[in-house]
Amino acid sequence: MGSRVQPATLACRDRPREKLARVGAGSLGDNELLGLVIGAGTEGAGAVALATSLLASCGGLHGLLRVSRDELLRIKGLGEARSAQVLAAVEIGRRVMASRPQDRRQVLSPADAAEILMPEFSARAVEQFGVLLLDTRHRVIRATVLSIGSLDGAAAQPREVFRQAVMASAAAMVLFHNHPSGDPQPSREDVELTRRVAAAGVLMGIGVIDHLVLGDGRYCSLKESGYL
């Protein structure tokens, strides 16, 4: 079928798949790599052309981290299947960025916590609030999202936070949430929630060692900012 081939103007050796086999994935441009993920084009537009349109609409590869299914479907030629392939590839990349060979990383500073949390949770289209649970040596047990949306939700209340900590036998925790705007400056509500949960932690014997607000490529530590 003609709709399944690259445009005739692209020499065979320069098509992304052949180019990858010949000189390696590192030599491909962003649009060529994304074209391989998309797989096939449509009548009048090859996979690389679709990839180029997609990157232009979302502001480059970094914008793919925030793109939604509905936004992808609005791009002519993608459709359900190709949109699903793009979203799956983005999520794989996000998980690779968040994973490390060590099973139990230790959190000794806000930067340590940020390194763990930023790849997975910073570039989200909606606000997510959660906890990074730690053992007695401040080694990571797990990161758990407690609410999606506003911090006013019930899941952001101290009882829900410490229910997760008790279930995991955690000795300490780092609160975290992202700002979809990209600006990690904490709000008054962020500060109030931090102090409320920290006070409950004193009673529970589970330390709240920080609260990170995750933005676009940067973060704010409420501990370093003097709020905790």
Q: Give the pLDDT mean for 179-202.
A: 92
* CATH 3.40.140.10-classified regions of the chain: 110-221
Question: In which band, very low, low, confident or very high, does the pLDDT at 89 lie, cut at 50, 70 and 90?
Answer: confident
Are 75 and 50 a contacting pair, CB within 8 Å? Answer: yes
Whether the per-residue pLDDT at 152 is higher than 90: the answer is no
Q: Give the pLDDT mean for 85-108.
A: 76
Which tokens go with 196?
């409320």
The CATH number of the structural domain formed by 2-98 is 1.10.150
CA 82, CA 93: separation in Å to the nearest integer?
A: 17
Q: Give the pLDDT mean for 160-167.
A: 88
Whether the per-residue pLDDT at 57 is higher than 70: the answer is yes
Question: In which band, very low, low, confident or very high, does the pLDDT at 14 lie, cut at 50, 70 and 90?
Answer: low
Share of the chain above pLDDT 70, in %: 86
DSSP output for 34-94: HHHHH---BTTB-HHHHHHHHHHHHTSHHHHTT--HHHHHTSTTTHHHHHHHHHHHHHHHH
For residue range 105-135, what is the model confidence (pLDDT) as tens digits? 899 999 999 999 998 888 788 889 999 999 9
For the domain 110-221, what is the CATH superfamily, name and number? Cytidine Deaminase, domain 2 (3.40.140.10)
Query: Which pLDDT value is given to residue 64?
Result: 80
CA 178, CA 123: separation in Å to the nearest integer?
A: 8
Whether the per-residue pLDDT at 16 is higher than 90: the answer is no
* CATH 1.10.150-classified regions of the chain: 2-98
Which tokens go with 47?
């996979």
Are 23 and 16 a contacting pair, CB within 8 Å? Answer: no
For residue range 21-46, what is the model confidence (pLDDT) as tens digits? 877 777 778 888 888 888 776 666 77
